Chains A and B, each alone.
Chain A
Amino acid sequence: MTGSVPSTTVVDDIADDHEVDDTSIKRLGFGFWIAISWIGLISIAALLAPLLPIADPNEIANGAPRDGILGDNFMGTDALGRDVFARTIWGARISLGVGFLGILLGVVVGGALGIAAGYFKGLADQVISFLVFSLLSFPSLVLALLITASLNRSFLTVAMTLGIVGIAPISRLARATTIQFADREFVQAARVIGAKSRRIIIKELLPNVLVPMGALTLLGMGISIVAEGSLAFLGLSVEGEAISWGKSIVDGSQTRDLNQNSHVAFVPIFAMFLTVMALNFAGDRIREYTDVRETAF
C-alpha cells in the first residue's frame, strides 16, 4: 500500500521557518539563584561537616557556657558550653536529611498511589482514597507519636514518620493532576494505538504529573524540616547525641536562655527559616518555569 514516497499534499506552513523560541524568554530570576545558592551552601556544609574546621558539636565546655554571639566562639555557646555554630552545621545533617528522605518517601509512595487512583479509577480509586482519607483524618502528631513510640527514634524512623505524614496530601495532589490528564485525548490516542497501561502511565502521564510534583517536593521538604522541629519539642526527634535544628532550638528554649542568650535558639531558627524560605521560593519558581505552554497562540 505504501508505494513510493509521495509529495506533500499541502504547501507546508511558511511561518515555520522562523524559530519559535519561547523558553529563553522565561527566566528563573535572580531570587531563584540566591535561594538555590543558600540551599547548595547549607547542603554542602552539612555533607562535609566532619571535614570542616569547626568545633566538636558535642564537646561540653568547648567554650565558656552561655558565651555571647560575639564572644570567643563564633556565634557563641549554649548552656553547656557547646559551640552553637558547629551544632547548627551538624544539625543541618539531620534536619535536611530527614526532610529529604521523608519527602522522598512521601512522593514515591503518595505519588504512586495518587497516579494509580487517578488513572485506574473505579475500585482502585475507592480503596486508595479510603486509605488516604483515613490517614488524613488521623491527627499527624498522634500518628508520629504512635510510630516513634512503637519503634525507636532513629534517623530512619523520624524520616519515615515525616514521610508517612506526607503521603496523604501528596497522593491527593498526584491523583488530581492525573485525573486532569487521564481523560485527555492524547491518553485516549495512546490506548487506541495499543499502548499498555504501564507505558501510558510512564510515557504520557508521568511527564505531565512529575513536574508539578517535583516543585512540590521542594515545598514539602521545607514542611518536613519544620515538622522535625515540632517533633523535637515533643521529644520525638532523633534520640541520643544526634543533633538536629529542632533539638538545638529546644536546647536554647529554656526561659533563662531565651531571655539572656537568645542566640542559642535563634541561630538554628534562622538557619531553618532561611532554608525553608529558600526551598519554598525555589519550588515555586520551578513550578512557574516548567508550566508547559500548550498552544501556539
Chain B
Amino acid sequence: MSDLQLTVEDLYVRFPTSRGTVEAVNGVTFTLEKGQMLGIVGESGSGKSVTAKTLMNLLPRTAEVDGNITFEGEDVRAVAKERRKHFWGVKMTMVFQDPMTSLNPVKRCGEQITETLRYHLGDTNATAKNKAVDLLEQVGVPEPSKRVDQYPHELSGGLRQRVVIAMALACEPSLLIADEPTTAVDVTVQKRLLDLLDGLRRDRGMSMILITHDLGVARGRCDDVAVMYGGRLVERAPTETLFADSRHPYTEALLRTIPRIDQPIHTRLEPIAGRPPELIDPAEECAFALRCRYAQPDCLEAIPPVGGVKGQHEFACFHPANTARGRQALDANLAAGQTVTGLQIQAAAGMN
C-alpha cells in the first residue's frame, strides 16, 4: 500500500439550500497511486469539482462532509490546526479553470509567486525572486524575467494559466489537482497547456488529478479515467479499457453521443434522452436509470454498488454494457421498444 498517494473512501458532500439539501457527492471512493494521472470526467453537477474542492479544503462552511481522505498517510480531514496553513497549497495544490480565481489582478505576476514561496517556505526576497523566474521558465513562459514584473491583465489567457501553474508548482507539490484547466482556452493553447502539465508530472514524479468534461482530453493524457454522474463515481478503469470496453451505460452513451472528427459529415448522433439528474432529494435508484437504454426493474429499486474488479475495472451497474447481462437487458428493452422507465428506444445504427 506504500505506493498509494491518496485514498478517498465513502466521501459524501451535502449543501443545505433553501430548496432542500443538494447531495453533491454521494459515497465516492477512489485511490491514486504515486506518479499517476487520474482523469475525473463528468458533466456539470456530476460532483467532480466538489470532490476536488473537498480534497483541497475549499468548501464553504455550510457544506456537510463525511468520509475518509488520506493523503500520504495523513488524515486530511483531521489536520492539526497549527499545520493547516502550510498543508494545502504545499504538498497538494490545485489549478482552476479561470486563472483569475488564483491571480490577484493588482499584483505583479512575480510577486504572486514569491509571496507563496515566502509564506510557505520562508524564502528570502532574493531567493524567492530567482525561483519565480525559474518557475516561469519551467512552465514555458517566454521572457520570464520580464514577465515577473507584468500584471495578469497584460498576459493572454494561456500565459495566465501558465503563471497559475507556476504558482502551484512553487512548493514542489506531490499532487496537483487541475480542475478544467483548459476549458476557457482555445484548442491550440489547450494542447500546449496539456503538453506542459503532462511533461511536468513526468519530470517531477508528481501525481495528478485532471478534472474535465472532455472525454478526449482525458483519453489523451490520463493513465486511469473515472467517470462521475449524479455525485457518484460510476466507472473507473485504465484509459484504454474504459474507452474500448466501457461497462457503465452512461460512459457508453457519452462516447456514442459526441460527434467525432473521423465520422462522415451529417452522421446522425445518438442523443442521451432527458437531462442530468436532480441532486436535491434524489430517489433511491440508479441516477442514470431514467436515461438508460439498459434500465431494468432492479435499477429502480436500489443504487447499484461499485463492483467489477477492484483496482482494475470498477463500475456501478446492475446490467453493465458489453457483458452478457447487459446485452440481455438491452435486447429485452429493444424488443419491448421501451425501458422500464418508459424511455422509448430503438436499435440505433452501429448498435450490436
Q: Which residues of A contact B (CB under 8 A)?
A: 10-11, 13-15, 22, 25-26, 297
Q: Which of A15, A22, A26, A297 is within 8 Å of B274, CB to CB?
A: A15
Residues of A contacting B342 with CB < 8 Å? 14
Q: Does B61 contact A (CB under 8 A)?
A: no
The CA of A211 and the CA of B44, in the complex, are separated in Å by 31
Taking a contact as CB atoms under 8 Å apart, the answer to whether B18 and A11 are in contact is no
Taking a contact as CB atoms under 8 Å apart, the answer to whether B275 and A13 are in contact is yes
Q: Does B83 contact A (CB under 8 A)?
A: no
Residues of B contacting A10 with CB < 8 Å? 271, 273
Q: Does B127 contact A (CB under 8 A)?
A: no
The CA of A10 and the CA of B275, in the complex, are separated in Å by 12
Q: Which of A11, A13, A26 has the most CB of B within 10 A?
A: A11
The CA of A265 and the CA of B297, in the complex, are separated in Å by 77
Q: Does B304 contact A (CB under 8 A)?
A: no
Q: Which of B18, B19, B290, B344 is within 8 Å of A15, CB to CB?
A: B290
Question: Taking CB as reference atom, which chain B residue is nearest A26?
Answer: B18
Residues of B contacting A13 with CB < 8 Å? 273-275
Q: How far is the CB of B162 from chain A (nearest CB, A)?
A: 32
Taking a contact as CB atoms under 8 Å apart, the answer to whether A22 and B341 are in contact is no
Q: How far is the CB of A13 from chain B (nearest CB, A)?
A: 5
The CA of A176 and the CA of B344, in the complex, are separated in Å by 49
Taking a contact as CB atoms under 8 Å apart, the answer to whether B18 and A25 are in contact is yes
Q: Which of A10, A14, A22, A25 has the most CB of B within 10 A?
A: A14
Residues of B contacting A15 with CB < 8 Å? 274-275, 277-278, 290
Question: Taking CB as reference atom, which chain A residue is nearest B342?
Answer: A14
Residues of A contacting B35 with CB < 8 Å? none
How big is chain B's contact interface, by range? 10 to 19
Residues of B contacting A11 with CB < 8 Å? 273-274, 343-344
The CA of A154 and the CA of B7, in the complex, are separated in Å by 79
Residues of A contacting B45 with CB < 8 Å? 297
Q: How far is the CB of A14 from chain B (nearest CB, A)?
A: 5
The CA of A91 and the CA of B338, in the complex, are separated in Å by 74
Residues of B contacting A25 with CB < 8 Å? 18-19
Q: How far is the CB of B17 from chain A (nearest CB, A)?
A: 9
7 A–B pairs (Cβ distance < 8 Å), ordered by A:
A13-B274, A14-B273, A14-B274, A14-B290, A14-B341, A15-B274, A297-B44
Residues of A contacting B291 with CB < 8 Å? 14
0/1 per residue, B271-309, Cβ < 8 Å to A? 101110111000000000011000000000000000000
Q: Given known contacts A11-B274, A15-B274, A297-B279, what 15 new A-B pairs fall within 8 Å (CB)?
A: A10-B271, A10-B273, A11-B273, A11-B343, A13-B273, A14-B273, A14-B291, A14-B342, A14-B343, A15-B275, A22-B19, A25-B18, A25-B19, A297-B44, A297-B45
Question: Taking CB as reference atom, which chain A residue is nearest B345?
Answer: A11
The CA of A10 and the CA of B343, in the complex, are separated in Å by 11
Residues of A contacting B343 with CB < 8 Å? 11, 14
Q: How far is the CB of A292 from chain B (nearest CB, A)?
A: 15
- Considering only residues 38-82 of chain B, those with a C-beta below 8 Å from chain A are 44-45
Q: How far is the CB of A6 from chain B (nearest CB, A)?
A: 15
The CA of A26 and the CA of B17, in the complex, are separated in Å by 11
Question: Taking CB as reference atom, which chain A residue is nearest B44?
Answer: A297
Question: Taking CB as reference atom, which chain A residue is nearest B290?
Answer: A14
The CA of A41 and the CA of B295, in the complex, are separated in Å by 61
Q: How far is the CB of B342 from chain A (nearest CB, A)?
A: 7
The CA of A64 and the CA of B132, in the complex, are separated in Å by 85
- Considering only residues 331-352 of chain B, those with a C-beta below 8 Å from chain A are 341-344
Residues of A contacting B278 with CB < 8 Å? 15
* Interface pairs A-B: 9 shortest CB-CB: A11-B273, A13-B275, A14-B290, A14-B274, A13-B274, A25-B18, A11-B344, A15-B275, A25-B19
The CA of A104 and the CA of B19, in the complex, are separated in Å by 36
0/1 per residue, B164-200, Cβ < 8 Å to A? 0000000000000000000000000000000000000
The CA of A229 and the CA of B19, in the complex, are separated in Å by 44
The CA of A173 and the CA of B279, in the complex, are separated in Å by 37
Question: Taking CB as reference atom, which chain A residue is nearest B22?
Answer: A297
Residues of A contacting B19 with CB < 8 Å? 22, 25
The CA of A158 and the CA of B268, in the complex, are separated in Å by 71
The CA of A132 and the CA of B51, in the complex, are separated in Å by 51
Residues of A contacting B341 with CB < 8 Å? 14
Q: How far is the CB of A227 from chain B (nearest CB, A)?
A: 37
The CA of A151 and the CA of B273, in the complex, are separated in Å by 71
Q: How far is the CB of A10 from chain B (nearest CB, A)?
A: 6
Residues of B contacting A22 with CB < 8 Å? 19
The CA of A165 and the CA of B19, in the complex, are separated in Å by 42
Residues of A contacting B271 with CB < 8 Å? 10
Question: Taking CB as reference atom, which chain A residue is nearest B344?
Answer: A11
Q: How far is the CB of A66 from chain B (nearest CB, A)?
A: 54
The CA of A22 and the CA of B280, in the complex, are separated in Å by 13
Q: How far is the CB of B143 from chain A (nearest CB, A)?
A: 37
Question: Taking CB as reference atom, which chain B residue is nearest A9?
Answer: B271
The CA of A11 and the CA of B290, in the complex, are separated in Å by 11
The CA of A25 and the CA of B45, in the complex, are separated in Å by 22
The CA of A297 and the CA of B274, in the complex, are separated in Å by 15
Residues of B contacting A14 with CB < 8 Å? 273-274, 290-291, 341-343
